[in-house]
């Protein structure tokens, strides 16, 4: 399933450059992951890099956007 960024986001920006498909962008108060673009880093890395680099654990699986 796609990832989303929770309200725990501190807008540090660490996740954005790590996304291999440019699915992350800065929002009004937090960063946002486009669920249509998110591939959970499959084919690029062994685990979602946004979650790996986030200092507060804000990127989490989004059950509302399962993989197709």
Q: Per-residue pLDDT tens for 1-49?
A: 899 999 999 999 999 999 999 999 999 999 999 999 999 999 999 999 9
Beta strands in the chain (DSSP E): 3-5, 24-26, 31-33, 59-61
Q: What is the pLDDT of residue 54?
A: 98
54 closest CA partner among 17, 22, 23, 28: 17
- In angstroms, the CA 41 to CA 57 distance is 16
pLDDT at 67 over 80: no
pTM above 0.75, yes or no: yes
Task: Please give the pLDDT value at position 34.
Answer: 97
CA atoms within 13 A on the CB side of 10: 7
| CATH number for the segment(s) 1-68 | 3.30.70.20
Helix ranges (DSSP H) in the chain: 49-53
- Token pair of 62, please? 């989004």
Report the pLDDT value the prediction gives residue 66, as an integer from 0 to 100.
85
Q: Which pLDDT score, from 0 to 100, does residue 68 have?
A: 60
């Amino acid at each position: 399933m796609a990832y989303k960024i929770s309200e725990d986001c501190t807008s540090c920006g660490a996740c954005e450059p790590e996304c291999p498909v440019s699915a992350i962008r800065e929002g009004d108060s937090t960063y946002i992951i486009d669920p249509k673009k998110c591939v959970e880093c499959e084919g690029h890395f062994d685990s979602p890099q946004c979650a790996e680099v986030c200092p507060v654990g804000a990127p989490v699986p989004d059950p509302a956007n399962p993989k197709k």
